[in-house]
Chains A and B, each alone.
Chain A
Amino acid sequence: MRRFGYSRPDDVGEAIAQERRFPEAKFLGGGTNLVDLMKMGVEKPAHLVDITRLPLTQIEERGNVIRIGALTRNSEVAAHPLVLAKCPVLSEAILAGASPQIRNMATTGGNLLQRTRCFYFYDPSYAECNKRVPGSGCAAIQGYNRIHAILGGSDHCIATYPGDMAIALSALGASIVVQGPRGERTISLDRFYRLPGATPHIENDLKPDELITSIEVPTPTVTGSHYLKVRDRNSYAFALVSVAALVDLAPDKHIRQARFALGGVAPKPWRVPEAEEALVNRPATEAVFREAAEIAVRGAKPHRYNGFKVELAKRAVVRALTTASQRG
């Protein structure tokens, strides 16, 4: 691992100032992804600003919004009474990810910024990766692309966003609060992540000297929710396909409102407003859910080894919406 400098500021302003002061600096949260990428030689920061002692660990309710401090550990968020009571789909998604040890370490802000697990990105012995080395090509498009994107990819990159928590946050309509030298701003999670286009190395809207300080989750008015994760083994594996679904049913079982987002299929949490609109005022039946699922994967572009994801995604949407409808 390349040598690096280290500092551990105790307030947010000083953390941002240090990130700007030291060349090639990065913020260090739980380190579960960054330290691994440094061992692999994918990330080579010259300085780490350890932000884990900053006072950003509150979870609190303000009106209809749950505000989660960016340095709250994943396990704390998943077990928090407010989260379990008001948006259990977030707990479900977090608990579907990684392992208890990793969830004890990983921070909320860091989880949002985790990098893709595309084999070709993660291993620098592959020369071609536009995300790792812009302009070098993409080894996945003609390579072993079983885990790769069917939606939202480009000729430059077909890597998926690997996380679970952000899929639930997308369905919940969450926003990200960031602090930088120019002050604070709030970005909706769906606009935070970018599609790869010709610049897959730019994954989100965050500037290098900006720090995520909290996540704001509007508490949903729904009758039921579910996070469904489909993977190669039952636990401690990344999603092939996942779906976070929230359904609000009227007493006569018609759908008042429904929201869902897909994971494992695209470079960002994949949410299709037209698919959600197709559910409004319709009965909560398998046929109706299937219609929405067809709309959700419209334009899917499978590659040699991941064609199975198209049908798997549709069936996962139907099952997640069905389970969410039966809850509550």
Chain B
Amino acid sequence: MSAHEDDITRRDFVGVTVAAASLYGGAVAEAAPVSGPADTANCSLTINGHRHDLQLEPRVTLLDLMREQLHLTGTKKGCDHGQCGACTVLSDGNRVLSCLTLAITQDGRHITTIEGLASGGQLHPMQEAFIEHDGFQCGFCTSGQICSAVAMLKEVRSGMPSAVSLNTKQTMTDEDIRERMSGNLCRCGAYPNIVAAIRSVEQRG
């Protein structure tokens, strides 16, 4: 993203600002926000139970907001293009990619990151299982893997099919777990242990 960050000429900027003055003038309603290119906009979102009332540039991704502004660096930036899954977080309980999510669109949503899974000093069962089964080597993909796996078990319980379960009519076979976790790449290749960790949590219920 940085290569294109300053991809705006002075002429563009002046033109846009002048146009914005007439287009956006005063018409900011609470329910249906409107902001110009030179503006920041109000955004309230809850991350790991803490509410944040923010003034955001619309181009800030949820990932960059968390890492650069809120110092929540547990969520990792891998590819920054939706190809690796390292930035996976939960939005209202659903797993999404924070690198392709503009933070402003999450106004009113509840975000859960790896920092929000433990409770009362007790690791989440999925975190414990990754440690127990050695589900990582370098650890860079791990927070995304764990967030993804937590949401995945919820999806299975709610009846979400996968490309594998649709045909085999069976969920949580090794093949099904791999398919459901295919959005999270691990370049160390810890996949067998990741599958084992997820299976152990599922079996414990």
Quick one: given A31-B102, A39-B81, A235-B178, are A101 and B97 in contact (CB under 8 Å)?
yes
Neighbouring A residues of B183 by C-beta, 8 Å: 98-102, 236
Listed stretches A4-12, A242-250, A312-320; interface member: A4-12
Q: How far is the CA of A170 from the CA of B51 in the complex (A)?
A: 45
Q: Are A104 and B94 in contact (CB under 8 A)?
A: yes
Q: Are B38 and A3 in contact (CB under 8 A)?
A: yes
Neighbouring A residues of B178 by C-beta, 8 Å: 235
A62 at the interface (CB under 8 A from B): no
Q: How many residues of B contact A (CB 8 A)?
A: 56
Quick one: given A31-B102, A84-B161, are A5 and B31 in contact (CB under 8 Å)?
no
User: Which residue of chain B has its CB nearest to the CB of A1?
Assistant: B59
Looking at the assembled complex, report how far the CB atom of B43 sits from the nearest CB atom of chain A, in whole angstroms: 10
Neighbouring B residues of A18 by C-beta, 8 Å: 34
A177 at the interface (CB under 8 A from B): no
Q: Are A5 and B160 in contact (CB under 8 A)?
A: no
User: Which residue of chain A has its CB nearest to the CB of B60?
Assistant: A1
Q: How far is the CA of A39 from the CA of B61 in the complex (A)?
A: 11
Q: Are A32 and B100 in contact (CB under 8 A)?
A: yes
Looking at the assembled complex, report how far the CB atom of B178 sits from the nearest CB atom of chain A, in whole angstroms: 7
Q: Are B1 and A1 in contact (CB under 8 A)?
A: yes
B192 at the interface (CB under 8 A from A): no
Listed stretches A87-95, A151-159, A279-287; interface member: A87-95
Listed stretches A45-53, A203-211, A255-263; interface member: A45-53
User: Which residue of chain B has its CB nearest to the CB of A15?
Assistant: B32
Listed stretches B17-25, B116-124, B128-136, B195-203; interface member: B17-25
User: Which residue of chain A has its CB nearest to the CB of B98?
Assistant: A101
Quick one: given A102-B97, A104-B94, are A7 and B32 in contact (CB under 8 Å)?
yes
| Chain A: interface size category | 35 or more
Q: Which of A1-60 contact B (CB under 8 A)?
A: 1-10, 14, 18, 21-23, 28, 31-32, 35-36, 38-41, 44, 46-48, 50, 52
Q: Are A32 and B82 in contact (CB under 8 A)?
A: yes
Q: How far is the CA of A92 from the CA of B38 in the complex (A)?
A: 44
Q: How far is the CA of A9 from the CA of B28 in the complex (A)?
A: 11
Q: Are A31 and B101 in contact (CB under 8 A)?
A: yes
Q: How far is the CA of A88 from the CA of B163 in the complex (A)?
A: 11
Q: Are B105 and A31 in contact (CB under 8 A)?
A: yes
Quick one: given A23-B19, A79-B160, A95-B161, are A6 and B182 in contact (CB under 8 Å)?
no
- Count the A-B residue pairs with Cβ separation under 8 angstroms: how many? 145
User: Which residue of chain B has its CB nearest to the CB of A92?
Assistant: B166
Q: Are B35 and A5 in contact (CB under 8 A)?
A: yes
User: Which residue of chain A has its CB nearest to the CB of B19?
Assistant: A23
Q: How far is the CA of A152 from the CA of B32 in the complex (A)?
A: 43
A75 at the interface (CB under 8 A from B): yes
Q: How far is the CA of A119 from the CA of B85 in the complex (A)?
A: 21
Within the complex, which residue of B4, B8, B107, B184 is in contact with A39, where a contact is CB–CB below 8 Å? B4
Q: Are A101 and B95 in contact (CB under 8 A)?
A: yes
Q: Are B166 and A88 in contact (CB under 8 A)?
A: yes
Neighbouring B residues of A28 by C-beta, 8 Å: 102, 105
Could you list 25 examples of A-B contacts with CB < 8 Å?
A2-B8, A3-B8, A3-B37, A4-B37, A5-B24, A5-B35, A5-B39, A7-B35, A8-B105, A8-B107, A14-B32, A31-B101, A35-B101, A36-B82, A39-B1, A41-B7, A44-B7, A46-B37, A75-B155, A91-B166, A101-B95, A101-B96, A105-B96, A105-B100, A236-B183
Besides A6-B41, A7-B32, 8 new A-B residue pairs in contact (Cβ under 8 A), listed by A number: A4-B37, A6-B102, A36-B82, A46-B16, A100-B180, A102-B97, A104-B95, A105-B100
Which residues of A come within 8 Å of B, CB atoms?
1-10, 14, 18, 21-23, 28, 31-32, 35-36, 38-41, 44, 46-48, 50, 52, 75, 78-79, 84, 88, 91-92, 95-96, 98-102, 104-105, 234-236
